[in-house]
Amino acid sequence: MSSARQPPGVVPSTRSSWLAADLEYESALRGALCRHLLRLDAIDRSSRFGAAMSDTGIERYAEGIDVDPGRSCVVRSEDGEVVALAELRLLHGDLQSLAEIAFTVDAGWRGRGLARTLLSNLIALAATAGVTSLLAQVRVGNASMLSILRNAGMQFRRDGAEMIGTLTLDAPARRSS
Ligand SMILES: CC(C)(COP(=O)(O)OP(=O)(O)OC[C@H]1O[C@@H](n2cnc3c(N)ncnc32)[C@H](O)[C@@H]1OP(=O)(O)O)[C@@H](O)C(=O)NCCC(=O)NCCS
């Protein structure tokens, strides 16, 4: 990790229109997301996915990430690589009332507030999408993730080795969308 390296801005994952150039952009983005997730070690993969995850499993998962700019946020390094990813996964389809959130940050980029910043972005995206409640599943020992989410007001209950968190988005946030 280079301390001189500054975290770049958090940007939506893609452009909003879906022209031919965007398909090329999406393909490149998906490749960068896959490389980001493949760099996670076994412990991080288990923390993120709740179970061991093979390279093949990650490649398959990356194909299914919703890269719509309203559903995911990334942070890129100066060379364009994705170094952090936050996902908003709608769980109630058309009702869009509940969404699961998940975060990954490259090991060399941790402790700089990227996950905290991405959470703020996801909360804004969730409000825009009409989401009223956020859900997170976090390993009991994942102190940094629990700290970030608790600081945002998420309430947790324990379920075996997992902490299940819920955060109700307040009405003013929804009205501002
Ligand atoms: C969890 C993860 C996303 C955090 O990313 P990050 O960019 O380092 O997080 P941030 O820098 O935004 O915040 C770190 C916070 O954790 C706190 N923290 C770090 N270690 C801690 C510890 N042992 N106990 C309590 N808090 C701790 C920091 O003080 C900081 O809190 P602050 O925002 O109040 O200052 C990253 O470690 C990761 O990708 N882990 C692997 C995947 C994973 O576990 N994902 C979460 C499951 S969804």
Which residue CA neighbors atom 41 of ligand 1 most closely? Answer: 44
Round to whole Å and give the CA distance between 107 and 84.
Answer: 10
pLDDT average, residue stretch 60-89? 94
Rg (CA), the chain: 16
pLDDT average, residue stretch 30-57? 97
The alpha carbon of 95 and the centre of ligand 1 are apart by a number of angstroms equal to 31
Residue-level pLDDT at 174: 43
Output the pTM of the full model.
Answer: 0.87
Paired tokens of 154: 């998420």
Q: Which ligand 1 atom is the nearest neighbour of the CA of 118? A: 12
Mean pLDDT, all residues of the chain: 87
- What confidence category does residue 173 fall into, taking pLDDT thresholds of 50, 70 and 90? very low
Paired tokens of 86: 């936050």
Hey, which of 38, 118, 148 would you mutate to test ligand 1's pocket, going by the most ligand atoms within 8 Å of its Cβ?
148
112 CB under 6 A from ligand 1?
yes
- What confidence category does residue 15 fall into, taking pLDDT thresholds of 50, 70 and 90? low
Name the strand (E) or helix (H) holding 42. Answer: helix 42-49
